[in-house]
Amino acid sequence: MHPDVEWHVSFRLPDLPVGKTIYRGPDEVMRLWAAFRSVWDELSVTLEEVVEAHGDVVVVRARFVGRGSASGVEVDRTLFYGCEVAAGKLKRLRPFDTEAEALAAAGSPTARRDDGAGRML
C-alpha cells in the first residue's frame, strides 16, 4: 500500500465508527480489514475481472462470498472498484455498485455519461 492510501467503504459494519467512510494510511486500512474480517465465519474475496486499466487507474470487479458469524446470514455480492496506483502501490480505492459508475468515476474514455437528468448517454 502507498503510505497515503485512501480506502473508501461501501457499507458499514457494527464495529466501525458511525459516519466514517474513508480510511487513510496503511494502519487505518489494516484495522478496517481486521474489523471487517472479524464479523465473518467464512469470507472469500475474488478478483473476477480487470474491467479497464488506463494510466494509473484500474477498474476491477470483485465478488464477496461469506457467512456472518453472529447472524449466519450468507452474502454473495459483486462490487466494482476504482483503484488509483502510485509508484506501483495502491493509493486510492473506491467501491461502486455498478460497472458504469466505476468507469465514469475513473474517467474512462468508454464510460457512458449521465446527461444531468439521470439518463445515461
* pLDDT tens by residue, 15-71: 677 778 899 999 999 998 888 888 889 999 999 999 999 899 999 999 999 998 888
Class of domain 6-105: alpha beta
To the question of pTM greater than 0.85 for the whole model, the response is no
Cα–Cα distance for residue pair 8/96, rounded to 1 Å: 10
Instruction: Name the percent of the chain lying above pLDDT 90.
Output: 60
